[in-house]
């Protein structure tokens, strides 16, 4: 596992998600306003791009069929998704968002 510099803190304002590609993975960095979290940018129901969904508090909604995931844990909270999305350790240091990904 390695830490990657993923984005500037200003690139992901509170209440938004931002897609990045790190180590060959498409990830969604989500700023809930209370913290910054990173998840796979792929709905476990049908592969929809979660970064294009609506972030409401700790939950992000897939734009395709409305499945919702808790970005803090990856847990699927609203059908049709039943499987969680993978989460990644995330930290903000000196205005930069860093994500731990298997290289």
pLDDT digits (tens, 9 = 90+) for 86-95: 999 999 999 9
Decide if domain 2-101 falls under CATH 2.102.10.10.
Answer: yes
Domain extent listing, the chain: 2-101
| pLDDT tens digits for range 12-43 | 999 999 999 999 999 999 999 999 999 999 99
Question: Beta 36-40 vs 54-56: how paired, if at all?
Answer: unpaired
Residue whose entry in the numeric block shows the structure tokens 């803190």:
9
Residue 52 phi/psi, 5-degree rounding, is: -90, 0
Per DSSP, 67 falls in state -
CB-neighbour burial class of residue 100 (10 A; exposed 0-12, middle 13-18, buried 19+): middle
């Amino acid at each position: 596992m390695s830490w990657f510099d993923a984005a500037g803190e200003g690139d992901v304002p509170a209440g938004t998600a931002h897609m990045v590609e790190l180590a060959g993975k498409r990830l969604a960095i989500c700023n809930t306003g209370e913290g910054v979290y990173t998840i796979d940018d792929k709905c476990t129901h049908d592969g929809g791009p979660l970064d294009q969904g609506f972030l409401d508090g700790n939950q992000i909604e897939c734009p395709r069929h409305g499945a919702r995931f808790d970005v803090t844990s990856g847990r699927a909270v609203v059908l049709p998704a039943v499987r969680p999305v993978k989460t990644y350790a995330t930290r903000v240091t000196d205005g930069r968002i860093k994500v731990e990904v298997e290289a």
